[in-house]
Amino acid sequence: MRILYGVVGEGMGHATRSRVVIDHLLRQGHRVQVVVSGPAHGFLRDSLAGRLGLSLEEIAGLRLVHDGAGIDKSRSFWSNLASAPKGLARNLGAWDEVARSFRADAVISDFESWAYTWAITHGVPVLSLDNMQVIDRCAHPPEVAPSDPVDRLVAKWAVKAKLPGADHYLVSSFFFPPVRKRFTTLLPPILRPEVLAARPEPGEHLLVYQHPGALRATLPALKALEVEVRAYGLGEDLVDGNVRHRPFSGEGFVEDLRTARAVVAGGGYSLMGEAVHLRVPMLAVPLDGQYEQELNARWLAHLGYGRHADRLTPAALGGFLDGLPSHRAALQRYQPRDNAMLFGAVDEVLARLASGERRLLYLHSASLGDWPGSRTEAALGG
């Protein structure tokens, strides 16, 4: 099949997960045209360089400006407004090029609107494949869901409006709430080959991964600890007391993760899923205004895999480190899985779309076995 694959460019987790799926599609003999924005374009270009059957097109997407605590909404708005004319011209050019030269049979969207809109306009079937749809398509108990009803409603409607009416939704997650909507399959985390190959050997260091502004703000609390801290975020290679700043390296980061005593990071899904898979406890400090990150962090704490904190304070760090034995015990109940279910589900959806089926109620792939996320025919909604 000829598959148009849209990857949202804000946040590298979408790119690293999409690389796994794109690599599988290419190995299955599909032709793949990727449309991607922002830093994710450079990552996919470099990591998939030279692959037969692959082409990449850079498009313009929204960019978020961060401060020390979260997203600066005002600066984000004005930055995107200033770049809008040039971005619109780029996207219109890409639209014509894809229509003329590729003629996609199906579209896969990782929470990306350009490819989805292209599919709807051209009558091409769409598979949604991301982690964000868990906000809207699954039921979250009141004790876990963030309490602000306005934030919850806004987040659900924003996710619902992003890719409405897709032919099927594959939703990746490390927590598994009941699926409440049809045409939905909940799957385990999408994991990089480097993580699947890693074997946990807990050491003494604390791994910290944060946005530069947040990392600078939390350095005093980290330097007050009597443990080694390996910090990613500033892109530097230097030692500051007990804190060793590390330049980002995929191989080096996985090594520091698999040997970590524990992880301190934001509420991003990708690292959280990797830490849970490797059974490394995590303290999650979501960015302000990021509902999805707060939901992830609350589920992490609810399952006992770590803790959730609004701010990274010495008290929060101390309480987390004191509770590591209980978090490790909870993580032993988690069953790590590879990407077999994901690949089986993707292959089934594409095969059924190729045969002319649309709006796939649920999947039959043998790779799903008795997985509870694979049966949603009794779910309400649509």
- Residue 84 is predicted with a pLDDT of 47
pLDDT confidence bin for 374, thresholds 50/70/90: low
pLDDT of 373 > 90? The answer is: no
Percent of the chain whose pLDDT exceeds 70: 85
Specify the CATH superfamily of domain 194-331.
Answer: Glycogen Phosphorylase B; (3.40.50.2000)
Q: Supply angle C-alpha 170, 172, 176, rounded to 5.
A: 105
Span 252-276, average pLDDT? 96
pLDDT confidence bin for 230, thresholds 50/70/90: very high
Weakest-pLDDT range from 103-107, 189-193, 215-219, 254-258: 215-219
- Residue 101 is predicted with a pLDDT of 73
How far apart CA 256 and CA 263 sit, in angstroms, is: 10
- Rounded to two decimals, the pTM is 0.88
> 10: which DSSP letter?
S
In the chain, residues under CATH classification 3.40.50.2000 are 2-193+338-374, 194-331
Question: Both tokens of residue 109?
Answer: 């969207």
pLDDT in tens, 21-52: 999 999 999 999 999 887 788 889 999 988 99
Enclosing H/E stretch for 201? none
For the chain, state the CA radius of gyration: 21
pLDDT of 92 > 60? The answer is: no
pLDDT in tens, 65-79: 445 555 544 543 334
β pairing state of 2-7 and 106-110: parallel
Q: Which residues contact 334 (CB under 8 A, 6 or more apart)?
A: 174, 276, 277, 279, 303, 305
Span 275-284, average pLDDT? 98
pLDDT of 13 > 60? The answer is: yes
Average pLDDT, the chain: 87
Domain 2-193+338-374 -> CATH class = alpha beta
- Residue 59 is predicted with a pLDDT of 78
- Asked whether the beta carbons of 279 and 259 are under 8 A apart, the reply is no
In one-letter notation, the amino acid at residue 21 is V
Question: Both tokens of residue 345?
Answer: 């589900």
CA distances, 16 to each of 7, 87, 229 (Å):
10, 24, 25
